[in-house]
Chains A and B, each alone.
Chain A
């Protein structure tokens, strides 16, 4: 019998998960929790914990890590709507045992619980589709989204390695105008210098449009 702890703040998801776990003879639902605080109050040692990524009072990955600290034998799987590269890497480097999408087929979730209980790591099957969907709706969190077109235009030229004077000549603007706009965009990006802005733009993969 595998004892399961469920942590999710979404009531429908939580009840669904609970029903799913209870429907499986090999699994035993030990406790459900809707927040980090609830989960910390659980006293029985679970074999597997399914933890949501975003909880009202904290981060699922941190909670998972603390659960593992408390019960070294527990297997923790992150269960989330978002297939986020960074979150996957963060979960695994925090020593957690799996990363599943709520969107997965329910049978797949059950299978994953059994798999992880045997000591194998699980990463959601069919994640490709979810990755596409998740990547699709991920808003551009970088500051570039805050820039308008004329600022992006200048930033692109700077990324190409043009000097202020060259960018000015290319855009038929005065170098002073370019300097003003660069200082605007540096402010919007929340960095301190033009070089930082260029680094940031390169990091977010800005590319010349034409």
Chain B
């Protein structure tokens, strides 16, 4: 359970410096320059006409360290190692001094002898001193810096030794000088640069080059052998041509391999148009906008080379449960000053992401923030819509409940009164009143049951339809229901309610206008996967003028992406046909 809050890059402490430095007089640099000047004395002393003896050449190599010192001592982070470099610049002068003490009269030969005998040892000592003076904080860059420096030191020392063992004194001196200059340049760059790659990367580069050269060479040798065997006029030329061609062809392959390797380590570094296409792919189709977050997180992971990236909505800092091992780096997603979420990155390395990975993430943060905000708004809108719909249903239930409780008893009481009178003294008027009151009670019942979705609270559509249809039967008419076996599971509440209301309104309509003896309700899933509802009656039929009920039904069907139409049935009657998509509205 661990998380790191990202604080952005911490810039180095500004140099406090001494009084003189604040006046623009960098004493450390002046010191380094002086050391370099002192180190130059043996070089100038050694120049004899246009000839430069080996000892002077070697001394000239050390001067490079002085120049590097001038660049390094001015920065707090490299001040110490810079001082050591400056110290190295004085080495020729010190050796010269020792030679003078040894043999005052023949100082120069003594100087050359010292260099020749102990030069490699002095180089080794200087390298050790430099390595020890490098800042060894336990972070990744410091460690990498040391590794690079030691590698370059090894290369320098190897060159010096190789020169001493294989070449004459003059050449060895030149090799040493060049190696010292190269080391000074490389060390300056290593010590001053902010980001260092792990040393394996150039090794991979080198390995790729070696493989390419080896393969080309082998192919060239093969071509040479083949040319000789087949007695070509100039087998060597063909062999060279083959080798060069192979090398040229392996170049793009090597580049590709290298890029793949770097992508694997650091990600692609940016979002490609293909990535954006993947993110936005199901934008019109997916019902849950949260899927967008998963995709955006995956894209950040791909672009920045992380294995696991999560986006969490809301202002709360996510805490990671114990079973999720690892350390997470949190970036706040902020839009308009409000924290809309958090981008959580699982760190593969305890010291955090590589600098370039952080840069990629930082670059993508505004976009991710906007995506998170958009998704949040979409979710909120959807929830508000559902809240309103539920409120509306509750309100409707309340109104219908009031209607039922208020008008119901009145109708019941009146019915009883009329019936009582009818029993004592039957007249045609009372009979009509009695029948009309009974119809009124039935209508009330139907309005209440037909318009409320609460009959569907248990989600059993087929059962609710059966009860609904039952409630209409009687008075010498039959209302029958046929439901398909697939009806029920997988329907959204909206569609379930719509089906229920279509059936209720369809039967009500048929009974009200057509005076049928039979109403057949057929609800099922059609061949194209849509729900089909048919309400057919054998009543008088005729031109059906859509009333409030049918119109609201039509609107509801259209909202859900379905359709409704009413047509004459054969031989008489009316057929109401409704089609609804199973999943509800598509847009």
| Contacts from A to B (Cβ < 8 Å) | 10, 12-17, 19-20, 22-24, 81, 102-103, 105-107, 109, 126, 128-133, 135-140, 145, 148-150, 153, 165, 168-169, 171-177, 180, 205, 207, 209-210
Chain A CB within 8 A of B362 CB? no
Q: A12-B413, A175-B321 are in contact. Are A103 and B445 (CB under 8 A)?
A: yes
Q: Nearest CB to that of A101 among chain B residues?
A: B412
Partner pick for A132 among B287, B314, B455, CB 8 A cutoff? B455
Residues of chain A within 8 A (CB-CB) of B470 are: 128-129, 132
Q: Nearest CB to that of A11 among chain B residues?
A: B413
Partner pick for B445 among A14, A130, A172, CB 8 A cutoff? A130
- Encode B416-450 as 1/0 by CB contact (under 8 A) with A: 11111101100000000000001001000100110
Q: Nearest CB to that of A163 among chain B residues?
A: B321
Q: Nearest CB to that of A145 among chain B residues?
A: B394
Residues of chain B within 8 A (CB-CB) of A13 are: 409-410, 412-413, 416
* A177–B411 alpha-carbon span in the complex (Å): 52
**Are A138 and B454 in contact (CB-based, < 8 A)?**
yes
* A165–B519 alpha-carbon span in the complex (Å): 53
A51 to B: closest C-beta gap in Å: 15
Chain A CB within 8 A of B153 CB? no
Q: A17-B416, A149-B390 are in contact. Are A176 and B317 (CB under 8 A)?
A: yes
Interface centre among B316, B390, B409 (most CB of A within 10 A): B409
A125 to B: closest C-beta gap in Å: 11
Q: A15-B417, A106-B420, A130-B445 are in contact. Are A137 and B397 (CB under 8 A)?
A: yes
Residues of chain A within 8 A (CB-CB) of B400 are: 136-137
* A174–B382 alpha-carbon span in the complex (Å): 20
Q: Nearest CB to that of A109 among chain B residues?
A: B416
Residues of chain B within 8 A (CB-CB) of A109 are: 416
Q: List 16 A-B contacts (CB under 8 A).
A: A10-B409, A13-B416, A17-B413, A81-B405, A105-B438, A106-B420, A128-B471, A129-B449, A132-B467, A135-B454, A135-B455, A136-B455, A148-B383, A149-B387, A176-B317, A210-B492
Partner pick for A171 among B290, B455, B457, B467, CB 8 A cutoff? B290
**Are A174 and B317 in contact (CB-based, < 8 A)?**
yes
Residues of chain B within 8 A (CB-CB) of A139 are: 394, 397-398, 401, 454
Partner pick for B449 among A10, A132, A169, CB 8 A cutoff? A132
* A162–B406 alpha-carbon span in the complex (Å): 45
Residues of chain A within 8 A (CB-CB) of B413 are: 10, 12-17, 102
5 shortest interchain CB distances as A-B pairs:
A16-B416, A129-B471, A16-B413, A12-B413, A106-B419
* A117–B200 alpha-carbon span in the complex (Å): 101
- Encode B297-329 as 1/0 by CB contact (under 8 A) with A: 000000000000011111011110100100000
**Are B417 and A176 in contact (CB-based, < 8 A)?**
no
* A107–B419 alpha-carbon span in the complex (Å): 8
* A148–B389 alpha-carbon span in the complex (Å): 11
Residues of chain A within 8 A (CB-CB) of B418 are: 106
* A12–B317 alpha-carbon span in the complex (Å): 63
Query: Which residues of B449-500 are within 8 A (CB) of A?
Result: 449, 452, 454-455, 457-459, 464, 467-468, 470-471, 474, 492-493
* A10–B416 alpha-carbon span in the complex (Å): 13
Q: A129-B471, A175-B321 are in contact. Are A137 and B452 (CB under 8 A)?
A: yes
* A62–B283 alpha-carbon span in the complex (Å): 60
Chain A CB within 8 A of B258 CB? no
